[in-house]
Amino acid sequence: MSFREYRIEITGSACAKEGKHYAQNWVASSVSDGEEVQMDHLGYDAKKHNVTGNVVFDKHLRAVPYASYVANGSVNVNRDVDPQADFSCCPGFGPAFSYFYEFISDLRTSLNVPIDERVRELYYNGLYISAFGILELFLCDFLLCGVFWKDEFYLNALTKLNIKLRPDQFLVEEKIKNAIYNKVFHRFDEIQDIYTAVFNFGFPDWQELSKRIERRHNIIHRFAFSKENRMIVDYATKEDAEELIQTIEKFVGDLKVSSAKV
CA–CA gap between residue 148 and residue 158 (Å, rounded): 11
pTM: 0.94
CA–CA gap between residue 70 and residue 26 (Å, rounded): 6
Could you tell me where the beta strands, DSSP code E, fall in 122-229?
Answer: none
Neighbours of 128 (CB within 10 A): 27
Helix (H, G, I), strand (E, B), or coil: what is residue 188? helix
Contact 177, 47 (CB under 8 A): no
pLDDT in tens, the chain (262 residues): 456 789 999 999 999 999 999 999 999 977 665 555 655 556 778 778 888 889 999 999 999 999 999 999 999 999 999 999 999 999 999 999 999 999 999 999 999 999 999 999 999 999 999 999 999 999 999 999 999 999 999 999 999 999 998 888 889 999 999 999 999 999 999 999 999 999 989 899 999 999 999 999 999 999 999 999 999 999 999 999 999 999 999 999 999 999 998 8
